[in-house]
Every structure is written in structure tokens, then in C-alpha cells.
Amino acid sequence: MANYLDAVLQYPSTPNEFAVFVGYRWANIQIADGEPHEDKLVGYINALEVFRPVSVPQVGFTRVNAVVPVTGRPSQRWIFSQDRWVTFDFNGQAGPTDAEAATLPAARPLSEWSALSDPAVAFTQVDASIPVPGEPTQLWVFFRDQFARIDVPGGDPTGSTVVEGAEHLSRWKPLAEAKFTRVDAVIPVPDQPGQFWVFSGQYWVRIIVHDDNPQHAELRNGPSLIEKSWKSLADL
């Protein structure tokens, strides 16, 4: 794997299937939980221009930095690229390579996210997110070596609020133990609520998030090299 993992999209109807984004390319993979897990490439590695939710003219993303499930709307995903974002709805016939994706609205500026533009956060990009246990409208959002906890009621970013302002990533106990200085991408472990694979550079860890306090999160395994244990990502 020559480049870092940029983002991961979990398909709403098939929770063990994901689209993974690395630079200007993407691919579909399947993951089965276990110790160790099993993962495999599904189909081909594609150019990002084939992923129509981001490549249509009114969006025009050249890479994907993060994909975040829309709070309260299970079929929808927020897709981020640098300081812009767009919403894609998988509820219906349109898939990520279908022509119907051309009906997407135009990309919007990240400044419309009131919580992210709040001075207590002031994020100019979204790198990844983790849902807050027991709080269905809340997310931890990661940017560089910081994170913040925000609330997005009704899936409306313009009405989002800050729950906890930006803090250093070292406050996440398992990520500090792994010596991670940033979070590039997060994959929820299928059928294991509260468990996530977290990727940083060429390494990954598996963590357990027990409650709304990152200090209580647990390092289950890792850090390990991506190229040695994620065969589906090896050629990306």
C-alpha cells in the first residue's frame, strides 16, 4: 500500500461491505470479523471519477478525505473533500456508479457546519469520525492531531452544535498508547457495536469505545502494519 488510507464508506444495506478511498482511487472490499479479521477485494480498483457522487460536475471532488454516516438518516452519508462536502442517499436505485447520482446537489462549503466553524473547534477539514455511544446524534470528529465532539440533530449540519471543543488526540487513551498523531480513517467492526479499526499512516489498531469518555476507550490489538494484515488494501 503505497499511500495512506484516506476514507471508508460503509454501505447501509450491507454492513460488511465498504468502499475504501486512497488518493485518486477507490475500491469495494468485504470484511468478516474475527481474530484476525478476514478482508477481500470485491471487483476492481477504480479511478475516483467512476464514483459518481463525488465526480459529477456540480461536486467535482478529486479525492475523498472522510465519509460520515448522517445522524438520524441511516441511508445517507456525508462525503468530505478538503473544505467542501456533499450528501449522498443510498435509499433508492442510485448506487455510487449509477447515472442517477448526477442528480446530486452541488458541493457546499464546510463553513456551513456551524459546529465545525465555531471558534471552539475551527476545523477546516474532516479526516474521520466515530459515533458517540448512547448519543445517536453526536459524533467525535477528527482533524489532524485534534478531535471535537459535536451534535448534529436531525442530520442538519447548519444546526450542529459543539458538545466539547477541540482537544489533542492524546486524550484518546488507545490512540495515545499506539502513538498515533492523527486519524486517517475509521472502519466500524461488523456486528461488534462500539468496536472500530482506526488507521493512521501505515498502521492500524482495533479499539473498543465503551462510553462517551475517550479516556475509557480500550486498545484491543495493534498497532500493526496495514500491508501485513489488510490484503484488500495492499494494491491500493
Mean pLDDT, 10 residues at a time, the chain of 236 residues: 84 91 94 85 91 83 95 93 91 61 77 98 98 97 98 96 98 98 96 95 96 97 93 86
Distance set, CA 85 to CA 19, 54, 111 (Å) = 17, 9, 10
pLDDT of residue 211: 97
How far is Cα 145 from Cα 166, in angstroms, rounded to an integer?
10
Going from N- to C-terminal start, the domains of the chain cover 7-233
Q: Which residues pair with 198 in a beta bridge?
A: 186, 205
CA angle 40, 129, 13 (to 5 degrees): 50
Q: What is the pLDDT of residues 71-111, one digit of tens each?
A: 999 989 999 999 999 988 887 545 676 655 555 778 999 99
Write down the pLDDT at residue 171. 97
Strand order through the sheet with 138-143: 128-131, 138-143, 146-151, 161-168
> What does the alpha-carbon distance between residue 169 and residue 54 come to, in Å, rounded to a whole number?
29
What is the model's pLDDT at position 106? Answer: 84
Q: Which CATH number does the domain 7-233 belong to among 2.110.10.10, 3.30.70.100, 3.40.190.10, 2.60.120.10?
A: 2.110.10.10
Of the chain, the end-to-end C-alpha distance in Å amounts to 6
pLDDT score recorded for residue 93: 47
Give the per-residue pLDDT at 1.
56
E strand map for 82-118: 84-89, 108-109
* Tens-digit pLDDT profile for residues 131-141: 999 999 999 99
Do the beta carbons of residue 41 and residue 232 sit within 8 Å?
Answer: yes
Largest CA distance in the chain: 45
Where do we find the cell 465545525? 116
Are 146 and 167 a contacting pair, CB within 8 Å? yes
Q: What is the pLDDT of residue 89?
A: 85
State the pLDDT at residue 210. Answer: 97
Percent of the chain with pLDDT over 70: 94
User: If we measure between CA atoms, which residue out of 172, 149, 146 comes closest to residue 162?
Assistant: 149
Does this model's pTM top 0.85? yes
- Give the long-range contacts of residues 214-217, CB within 8 A, separation 24 or more: 214/140, 214/147, 214/171, 214/172, 214/173, 215/171, 215/172, 215/173, 216/173, 217/172, 217/173, 217/174
